[in-house]
Structure 1
């Protein structure tokens, strides 16, 4: 998980798929700018896998920037503040896969919104009739649309540990009632707007996750990547309407290919196996196809 040596920037942190830098000059660092570089690393089940997905960092950065523009009013909705810092381009070596951003007081809550029943939510529903403890109507099937989108937060764990699904009440205990309500309401608003835009492009946004921070004035600000094929599940809308099995209905444009292969090939003990070349190629193709379908 080695980071690049970028002139003028000092590497300070690497997550599963992104590397974070501050200005090397202390005076420049004082203004709160940071550089976020998206790598080609891919993760699943809280593990970074080998090899990476070629071009993934650039594709996800381009999609995030497109969505930030939509949510800044290009879609006709209210402006959602984001962490992008204007006035400076990323270093040439990483320009296509990097963003210069404002430093925020990041909130320790992963803001998950689910509009459809799938993944771990489907497994819990089959067992208990709930998703993250939220009761749902009986009789739903894998891939069904929920009566309304639900907010299912998680507490962000340190690197290498599992995020913990938590209740809204627990979110209030962690960040306070006002911030918890703002995280929930803003997440649901963004999901609703994004799902409508995706639907106009022939796609279903099944679920997604957001991260937020507070800026120097205490304004809740959207950060990190947003509505990408790493942080979201996108399905083909026509296949969902006509498919008779879950696999046919949930024709995906995300890293579900990786998840499915890994779930079948690995018992989640020890080191994950290497991804086969065809899985890497198919995943990269789906990432490109999603960007082309949404942003053109």
Structure 2
């Protein structure tokens, strides 16, 4: 398993499935700092397991895409802070060279334990649930929808953010009110739908569909302002489809070919019974996944 790199003047304090968090060496932890270094690794996860090997340059691709999206979503506060300083007449970069290109400097937030999921299309676990109940996470939907269909309007289906190694749990909106209070729950729903609809409209101009996504928010420790955090609309947190293919394809599999790690999920589902340690990913699966990540970034940003 890939380990978190040692960085001069920074102390490693936490590792998630994909990202590593660091605080300045002078700080004692996340509760004692004004800046957090978020480093996106090349690790890839599926079915709540981190897999081997990683996807080459994935951390850089995800970070570049997140930063691009933060620039598009200026109407929503986010956690980014300046990553360089002017010392005299010299610009000093605060992100270490060893992780440049795959890191963001952010302010610490009091994070809400909610995965703010928005679905604009019927697919995945939503499709499975709809076939049984004609609803998704308790939200009733019209009859006659097919796998991959666009929903009449985007729906908010929150989940409880489980600790590393445990499954996130779909919860009702009423449960989010119990967890974070009515005002915060309402604002999380409003902001999530706003960001999704804004992002989906931008992506559509580039010939790309955002079928669904998830966001994380936290409260600014000084002002209490609800702030967009972590990654945003990346191919790890979102399901992206090719709009032209979606419109013309004749099979669900082709219709919903993703610009994300769906290639990894599909291979793993076919080659692992979800017990014990997952098998290593074959080289062709790794390269095909990396190519899809790169293609999405090029489609959206032109870079």
Closer/same/farther in 2, CA of residues 144 and 96 from structure 1, 3 Å limit: same
RMSD: 1.3
Which stretches in structure 1 are left out of the alignment for 5+ residues? 73-78
TM-score relative to the length of structure 1: 0.96
Moved over 3 A (4+): 26-31
Q: Provide the residue aligned with 1:154 in structure 2.
A: 159
**Which moved further from structure 2: 195-204 or 129-138?**
129-138
Q: Provide the residue aligned with 2:48 in structure 1.
A: 46
Distance (whole Å) between structure 1 residues aligned to residue 170 and residue 70 of structure 2: 26
Within 5 Å, give how 1:1-296 maps onto structure 2: 1-26=2-27, 30-72=32-74, 79-88=75-84, 89-215=94-220, 216-296=222-302
* Secondary structure at 2:100 match in 1: helix
Deviation (angstroms), 1:31: 4.5
Deviation (angstroms), 1:146: 0.6
Deviation (angstroms), 1:106: 0.5
Which stretches in structure 2 are left out of the alignment for 5+ residues? 85-93
Distance (whole Å) between structure 2 residues aligned to residue 26 and residue 104 of structure 1: 16
Distance (whole Å) between structure 1 residues aligned to residue 67 and residue 73 of structure 2: 10
For residues 138-192 of structure 1, give each alpha carbon's deviation from its aligned partner in whole angstroms, at most 9, with x where no partner exists.
1111100011100000000111000000000000000000000000000000000
* Secondary structure at 1:96 match in 2: coil
Distance (whole Å) between structure 1 residues aligned to residue 67 and residue 133 of structure 2: 39
TM-score relative to the length of structure 2: 0.93
Deviation (angstroms), 1:27: 9.2
For residues 199-250 of structure 1, give each alpha carbon's deviation from its aligned partner in whole angstroms, at most 9, with x where no partner exists.
0000000000000000020001000011000000110000111111101211
8 A Cα contact 2:35 2:105, kept in partner: yes
* Secondary structure at 2:213 match in 1: strand
Length, aligned pairs only? 290
Distance (whole Å) between structure 2 residues aligned to residue 53 and residue 166 of structure 1: 32
Distance (whole Å) between structure 2 residues aligned to residue 291 and residue 87 of structure 1: 22
8 A Cα contact 2:13 2:29, kept in partner: no
